[in-house]
Amino acid sequence: MATVAGCTPHGRSSRTQRPHLSKMERVIVSMQDPDQGVKMRSQRLLITAIPHAVAGRDVVEWLVQKFCISEEEALHLGTLLAQHGYIYPLHESRDLTLRPDETPYRFQTPYFWTSTLWPAAELDYAIYLAKKNIQKQGALVDYEKEHYTQLHKKINHAWDLVVMQAREQLRAAKQRRKGDRLVISCQEQTYWLVNRPPPGVPNILEQGPERGSYNSSRVQMSSDFYKCEIERFRKALGRNRVKSSVCLEAYLKFSSQHGPHDPILSGCLPSNPWITDDVTYWAMNAPKVAAPTKLRVERWSFSFRELLDDPVGRGHFMDFLQKEFSAENLSFWEACEELRFGGQAQVPALVDAVYQQFLAPGAARWVNIDSRTMEWTLEGMRQPHRYVLDAAQLHIYMLMKKDSYPRFLKSDIYKGLLEEAVIPLETKRRAFPFLRKPLHSSPSPVLQSTPEEPAVTSTPAGGNGKQ
Amino acid sequence: MAREECKALLDALNKTTACYHHLVLTVGGSADTQDLREELQKTRQKARELAVATGARLTVALRDRGLATEERAEFERLWVAFSGCLDLLEADMQRSLTLGAAFPLHAPRRPLVRTGVAGGSSAVAARALSARSLRHEAEGDFDVADLPELEREVLQVGKMIDDMEMKVNVPRWSVQARQAAGAELLSGASAGASSAGGISVQERPGPCDPSKALAATVFSAVLLVAVALALCVAKLS
């Protein structure tokens, strides 16, 4: 069988035989044992008799005996063998299943065994279809005709070879006895039934997504390999480890704190927009909304990061700091964020502006940084880049976190916010089901394009979500 | 002319490759014998000789700069068919190597798979070698001695393919095949008609040749008897 031309022409060993196929091969070979193998009988045709036919029942019996398994399991195993093409039925040759009765089967020749080492190539399939075309005078099955035309387009350059080989292979086959010719053509047909299954039949060689890269790359067990392994393990020993009790504690705390805030775990009020088509939830939790919900305000007390990340929270924090006359800290922090995430071209100008406004001695909004950090910053500012103010920013951040933030949480502003915060009411379920709004995800474009038909989902029926 | 020569050589190589493929199909099966291995060896030797000859001719023709475009296109077509044929041959040789190693004949560690193919394949090999019949001179452990030889030959063929790719640069996709879809049905009708009756993939039994002759004589005898009876009846009445 030809490899895909040009792909891996003469280098092998990138493919390995899949383990289940090797196992099946071993089973088949052990069936061939003259003493302990399966009972063979002869298939009688009108004139010729072809040996080595096996009844389905005998196969199942042999499997039960050999592996000491139940009959059901043996039947399943036998069906797997048939589906992978190691055994093929002699009467309904397109139906590759094992029947535990007198239906005769025969073994596939090792050349045509299903293998991932030698995947079936398009050129071979084309030659097979051409041969079949000649034999059947053009009367191919539908899907085969389709494949034929597709292949003619795909490997058009090799079509001369296809036709030549097809003719010659048929002529070579004619040199054999009648019975042998029959057997070989059945074998080939089974091979292609397995490797190019007809529509509706599942492809056995398909791997599911979880099987993925099974190909175990063979590693040479040399001294280099072991040296690398030793080095790797030594580095692994030196890594910092955190006790799992500590990790899990933090994890538990996080989960219990954020549990009531999770819309999936604790439901969301007023209602889940994906279910009821009511977008109030999103409107009420928009980034900049005048009246934040209670859950949101509570979340600001979890950590300083939460407070700063929320635009509404940051705004209120800024108000608080202005009352305390330390708003320049937050402004400085925001300016540093802008520097870090802003455009590269603005970096030098911005660094200068920040310095002039916040860091220079006698600046308008001078921030209090310790001397060492100030030294580092000044040195870094000779060649400004976007991370040059990181140290100062971190200092101010920790200052706010340790100092201003706890005071904010205890302040009247925050307490007032908590009291004012809104708890949205859950939407009432309509008592009568036929008045409930129909559940559609979004108006279908088909409906919208025909304006004379009433749009089904444009307005909610009744004030479901409104309080 | 060079083109006819190349075509003839390519046809011969094609025939030998097809016969080799047909022989390799039965390795490991119930018809696997020392004779088969010997036939394989002779066939592949012939195939290799043909390949070398064809390759040399084609390389010479394609490296000739002063070639007309349509002649060049013709030679490129032949080249693509030739390299495809060589790929098939190499793959079949590799398969026969692995299968031959997996199913040794001398000390049968593995019993051969009973596939139902029982007859000899000497006719196929004879066709490949364009000989009338084949003499088998294999000793008892031919397959053991043959395996390393086969391995070497596989590598040689691989090297030959690589060399040819280096020497001649023919992009495969630019070649337009001359045969249209379904071309095998047209002039292959002679090969088709005779085999259509014989080979069918359903197990519908068809008469084989001596039996066909027998049936024909029986039928003609019955016909003669019927005609004689009718004459008698006519004479009597």
Query: What pLDDT band is residue B196 in, cutting at 50, 70 and 90?
Result: very low
What's the order of all strands across the beta sheet hosting A41-44?
A41-44, A49-55, A104-107, A87-89
Which pLDDT belongs to residue A449? 57
Tens digit of pLDDT for each residue in A24-36? 999 998 988 888 8
Q: Does B144 touch chain A (CB under 8 A)?
A: no
- 3-state DSSP percent of chain B in helix, strand and coil, to 5: 70, 0, 30
Alpha helices in A118-158 (DSSP H): 122-136, 142-154
Q: How far is B237 from chain A (nearest CA, A)?
A: 43
A106 shares contact with chain B (CB less than 8 Å):
yes
Nearest chain B residue to A130, by CA: B184
List B residues 42-71 in contact with A (Cβ-Cβ < 8 A): none
Instruction: Say which of A110, A118, A185 has its CB closest to residue B199.
Output: A185
Q: Token pair for residue B193? A: 């008609």
* Cβ–Cβ < 8 Å for B125, B23: yes
What value of ipTM does the predicted structure carry? 0.78
Distance of CA A210 to the CA centre of its chain: 9
pLDDT at B124: 85
**Contact partners, residue A329, CB within 8 Å, separation at least 6:** A321, A367, A396, A399, A400, A404
Q: Give the side-chain half-sphere CA count within 13 A for A423.
A: 6
**Whole-number Å distance between alpha carbons of B14 and B186:** 19
CA distances from A41 to A48, A90, B85, B113 (A): 14, 13, 39, 15
| Chain B contact present for A173, CB below 8 A | yes
Q: Do A182 and B203 touch (CB under 8 A)?
A: yes
Query: Is A145 touching B (CB cutoff 8 A)?
Result: no
**pTM score:** 0.59
Q: In this predicted structure, what is the pLDDT of residue B52?
A: 92
- Kindly report the length of chain A: 467
* Model confidence pLDDT, tens digit, residues A100-116: 888 889 999 999 998 88
Q: What long-range pairs does A64-67 form, CB within 8 A, spacing at least 24?
A: A66/A30, A66/A36
DSSP A176-194: S-HHHHHHHHHHHHHHHHH
Q: In this complex, do B85 and A161 lie within 8 Å of one another by their Cβ atoms?
A: yes
CB within 8 Å of A430: residues ≥ 6 apart? A436, A462, A464
Residues forming a β-bridge with A88: A106
Rounded CA gap, B99 and B122, in Å? 20
Residue A288, strand partner residues: none
Cβ–Cβ pairs < 8 A, chains A and B:
236
CB B185 within 8 A of CB A133: yes
B15-67 per-position pLDDT tens digit: 999 999 999 998 888 888 888 888 899 999 999 999 999 988 888 888 887 77
Cβ–Cβ gap B19/A172 under 8 Å: yes
Q: How far apart are CA A185 and CA A192, in angstroms?
A: 11
B163 interfacial to chain A (CB closer than 8 Å):
no
Residue A462: the pLDDT is: 42
Lowest-confidence range among A395-399, B39-43, B119-123?
B119-123
β-bridge mates for residue A104, sequence order: A55
Judged against a pLDDT cut of 60, whether residue A455 lies above it is answered with no
Tokens found for residue A103:
């239906």
The pLDDT of residue A259 is above 80: yes
- H helices of A32-158, in order, are 56-67, 71-83, 122-136, 142-154
Whether A392 contacts A336, CB under 8 Å = yes
Judging contacts by C-beta atoms under 8 Å, the chain A residues touching residue B7 are: none
Q: What is the mean pLDDT of residues A158-165?
A: 90
Q: Which of A278, A112, A104, A263 lies closest to A184 in space, CA to CA?
A: A112
Q: What share of chain A is helix, strand, coil (3-state, %, to 5)?
A: 55, 5, 40
- By Cβ distance, the residue of B95, B123, B184 closest to A111 is B95
Could you say which DSSP state residue A121 is in? P
DSSP A259: G
Q: Taking a C-beta distance cutoff of 8 angstroms, is the pair A135, B199 a contact?
A: yes
Q: How confident is the model at residue A13 (pLDDT cuts 50, 70, 90)?
A: very low
Whether A52 sits inside 8 A of B115 (CB atoms) is yes
Q: In sequence order, what are the beta bridge partners of A105?
A: A54, A89
pLDDT in tens, B144-155: 888 898 999 999
Taking the C-alpha atoms of residue A124 and residue A132, their distance in angstroms, rounded to an integer, is: 12
Contacts from A39-45 at CB under 8 Å and sequence distance 24+?
Answer: A40/B114, A41/A104, A43/A90, A43/A104, A43/A106, A43/B116, A43/B203, A45/A179, A45/A182, A45/B203, A45/B205
Instruction: Please tell me the distance from the alpha carbon of residue A80 to that of residue A99, in angstroms, as a whole number.
Output: 12
Q: Higher pLDDT residue, B6 or A210?
A: B6
Integer angstrom CA distances of residue B85 from A147, A369, B76: 22, 80, 14
Q: How far is A350 from chain B (nearest CA, A)?
A: 58
Taking CB atoms and an 8 Å limit, are A110 and B103 in contact across chains?
yes
Could you check whether the bond before residue A270 is cis, i.e. omega within 30 degrees of 0? yes
